[in-house]
């Protein structure tokens, strides 16, 4: 499938956004996760917004990401759990003429980070996401209460059709651990992998992440048996 320039640019922007999000704005990750999100961390499966958010903050956010430009793909996933289910958005309730006075929005606005970004992507100039950008993690919020006009009898919102988009990028993640050696403060090593993400985009600036897959590039010995057998037959 051939992708348009806009689709390629969108996948690249999202890849940069995601890396900046998990590395520098881990306290705001929860605002971008769907309720039924699935995270596959090198074979370990984590499900649900709360569990995935906690796992990202304690595990994923502690590693550095080194990936090439993300690209759009038709689909991702190789397990039964790698399925994106879009929830059917409920209609807003219809207030009556005797509705109480209108309520104000109570926003859970993420606190902007004051520290400079330390993203370790290959090209820092192209991957830096400014906090004032429309795609910045610091700009996301979720309203917890709906605002209604007491004078209106009904609200018929237009249901926006969401399409799941998939992106893929290859590179490595770098792990850091305290070193037991006296002359070395920490030990670090890189693990080659693929990063695949399924997400939706609303209003060109509102991301929701549904599926995250960190997949190692090294095949296990059992998986290579078929390749060796096919080569021997040829």
Report pLDDT digits (tens) over 153-209.
444 444 457 889 999 999 999 998 776 776 666 778 899 999 999 999 988 779 999
What pLDDT, in 10s, does the model give residues 39-58? 999 999 999 999 999 999 99
Enclosing domain of residue 57: 5-233
CA distance readout (Å), 211 to 8, 25, 152, 169, 206: 19, 19, 39, 14, 16
**Average pLDDT over all residues of the chain:** 74
- Reported as a pLDDT band with limits 50, 70 and 90, residue 128 is very low
Give the count of domains, the chain. Answer: 1
CATH number at 190 reads: 3.10.450.50
Tell how strand 142-143 and strand 107-108 pair up.
Answer: antiparallel
Read off φ and ψ for residue 9, nearest 5 degrees. Answer: -65, -40
Q: What is the DSSP letter of 82?
A: -
Overall pTM > 0.85: no
Distance CA 14, CA 10 (A): 6
């Amino acid at each position: 499938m051939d992708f348009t320039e806009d689709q390629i640019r969108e996948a690249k922007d999202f890849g940069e956004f995601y890396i900046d999000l998990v590395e520098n704005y881990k306290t705001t990750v929860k605002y971008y996760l769907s309720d039924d999100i699935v995270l596959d961390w090198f074979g370990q499966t984590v499900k649900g917004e709360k569990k995935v958010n906690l796992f990202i903050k304690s595990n994923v956010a502690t590693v550095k990401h080194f990936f090439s430009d993300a690209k759009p793909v038709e689909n991702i996933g190789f397990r039964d759990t790698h399925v994106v289910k879009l929830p059917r958005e409920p209609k807003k309730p219809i207030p009556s003429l005797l509705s109480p006075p209108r309520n104000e929005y109570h926003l859970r606005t993420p606190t902007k980070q004051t520290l400079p970004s330390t993203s370790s992507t290959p090209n820092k100039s192209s991957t830096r996401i400014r906090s004032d950008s429309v795609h910045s993690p610091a700009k996301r919020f979720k309203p917890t209460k709906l605002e209604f006009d007491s004078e209106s009898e009904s609200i018929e919102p237009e249901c926006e059709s969401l399409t799941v988009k998939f992106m893929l990028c290859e590179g490595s993640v770098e792990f850091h651990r305290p070193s037991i050696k006296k002359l070395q403060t920490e030990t670090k090593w890189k693990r080659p992998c693929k990063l695949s993400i399924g997400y939706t985009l609303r209003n060109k600036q509102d991301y929701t992440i549904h599926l995250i897959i960190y997949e190692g590039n090294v095949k296990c010995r059992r998986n290579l048996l078929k390749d060796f057998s096919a080569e021997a037959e040829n």
